Amino acid sequence: MPHHLIRKFGRYARLSPDDEAVLGRLVRDADWIGPDHDLLREDAAAKAVWAILEGWACAYKQLEDGRRQITAYLMPGDLCGTPIVFPGIVNYSVGTLTPVRAARIPGPILLSAMDGHPPIMRAVWLDMLATSAIQREWTANIGFRTAKERIAHLFCDIVSRLRAVGLTDHDGCILPLTQEDLGETVGISTVHVNRTLQDLRQAGLITLRRQRLGIPDFAALRQVARFDDVYLCQRPSVGGEHGGIDEKPDADVIAGSGMMGITM
Amino acid sequence: MPHHLIRKFGRYARLSPDDEAVLGRLVRDADWIGPDHDLLREDAAAKAVWAILEGWACAYKQLEDGRRQITAYLMPGDLCGTPIVFPGIVNYSVGTLTPVRAARIPGPILLSAMDGHPPIMRAVWLDMLATSAIQREWTANIGFRTAKERIAHLFCDIVSRLRAVGLTDHDGCILPLTQEDLGETVGISTVHVNRTLQDLRQAGLITLRRQRLGIPDFAALRQVARFDDVYLCQRPSVGGEHGGIDEKPDADVIAGSGMMGITM
DNA sequence: CGACCGTTTGAGTGGGGTCAAGGCTCGTGG
DNA sequence: CCACGAGCCTTGACCCCACTCAAACGGTCG
């Protein structure tokens, strides 16, 4: 089985077998890390990129008085940190939520791989842009949605992303988050997360028990959440309805040519 | 006077006169655009990057029922859009708030400039990372701060960014935003923005009249906001206190060498 | 002068926060 | 095998921050 990273990058660029081999070598030295462990610290200068291969982590910011905001979830195939060092660029910490298998890729190593392999350059670039798109969506989610909509939107987001890397079952996924985590993600209190979840359960929109999230009617949840998945950058072509799960990438979109493998 | 763009990029990389000339050529064909006009539409495929040279714009998302969230402000020297086309990457619209002078840079043109000029590649890359850092900070701002803190934080953010491109006066700046804009930025209602502003005024933390924001005691406002400016990526060196305004970039940080002009 | 847009103020309401106690589950150790 | 404790989830009661609705005020520009 190829890494989730390769699967994701394959959506962004056409990877040759050689490209895939290079990517495989980048994440060769992956280790398992226990839960509740920090990969990145806000105050430390980042000198490498971490690739998450298994498990969940989260990016977060924290105030002195204890308030915490989770700004992103990192799932298999996701990257965090940056190959370029500059003060302030990494203004967040990254902590594991579950046991995580992650590979530390030194900045220069990643950069030279990008330099020698345009598809990798393109994929890293697009992955960063896609991450930004998600961050914008989260800002909006917290900014203008109600508590119920926020939770619903977050669940749509999570399930869609997991589905893209093949980590969902037929109607849901494993959700290794506490209600406190959820609250710190969408900006509401733990108690109110609980009440909101019950609300969603009673409406038949979700089931959630023992870290297993079920979504019997995704379309219904999506409507409550006002969720539009374009920002996840998973659709190979613009427009049209989102049909089955096994969509194939559109060659016109991912094909590379010239500098950075970019098709304009 | 060099463009604000060149000034900002000069903080990210050491630009040769040739690099600066190339940047100047990229934004040569700039036009004035009236206020309340869209540069980018969410549903349209982006085929170019816009460079804001004068005036203010904002990135925003909107729901069908009218709710709107401003996800970023774009000021002189800022870029929006992307040179790489991929569905979903541009999941926001950009509208002008004031008359704006902006240059449309076709994707391939920017990419080839990056390709031929490592410092430009590095600067574009770092600018994107810095934009992401701001976006994360905004997510956190809306997520875990109170209304008063959010507004205070936003003002610290804006003034710091404007100062970096030389657009502040001695203790404040022009703020071309309505209270409705502010509300849509930090996720509170217009009425409550008004009351929060009065709160800040009565505390002596700000003056705000006729689009002119004054901050008599920045340190005090910063403390109320729990504002830490590292995420703005304006400090040439890590650590140490933020002293005067006229800090010079640290050569060790911005110097370029090798691929993408990166110093590891 | 009126129309318009943005700001301000008041009153009433409700979404969501806080505090506190109790319940469930599971891992651990006796 | 059971007892126990630690997290996490759940529930209730109370309250307040912030929202809504509505109206009045104030500049600015035809």
Enter the DSSP assignment of B110.
Answer: H
Whether A230 and B87 lie within 8 Å, measured CB to CB = yes
> What confidence score (pLDDT) does residue A230 get?
87
Yes or no: say if B119 and B256 are a contact pair by the CB < 8 Å rule: yes
pLDDT in tens, A116-141: 999 999 999 999 999 999 999 999 99
pLDDT in tens, B135-180: 999 999 999 999 999 999 999 999 999 999 889 998 999 999 999 9
On average, the pLDDT of chain B sits at 88
> How many other C-beta atoms lie within 10 A of the C-beta of residue A154?
21
Give the number of beta-carbon pairs within 8 Å between A and B. Answer: 194
Residues 6+ apart with CB under 8 A from B202: none
Residue B182 CA, nucleotide C16 C1', distance (Å): 22
Residues of A in contact with B237 (CB under 8 A): 87
Residue of A131, A142, A235 lying closest to B87 (CB–CB) = A235
The string over B86-100, giving b where at least 16 C-beta atoms fall within 10 Å of a residue's C-beta and e elsewhere, is: bbbbbbbbbbbbbeb
- Rounded to the nearest angstrom, the gap between the alpha carbon of residue B189 and the centroid of all alpha carbons in its chain is 23
Binary contact (B136, A87; C-beta < 8 A): no
Tokens of A92: 């967040």
| Structural domains of chain B sorted by starting position, each given as residue range(s) with its CATH number in brackets | 1-143 (2.60.120.10), 145-233 (1.10.10.10)
Looking at CA atoms only, how far is residue A127 from chain B in angstroms? 10
Residue A192: which nucleotide is closest by CA–C1'?
C16
Contact yes or no for B233 and A61 at CB 8 A: no
Instruction: Give chain B positions within 8 Å (CB) of A121.
Output: none
State the DSSP string of A193-234: HHHHHHHHHHTTS-EEETTEEE-S-HHHHHHHHT--GGGG--
Q: What is the pLDDT of residues A30-40, one digit of tens each?
A: 999 999 999 99
Give percent of chain B with pLDDT exceeding 70: 88
Chain C nucleotides covered by protein, CB below 7 Å: 5-11, 15-20, 25-26
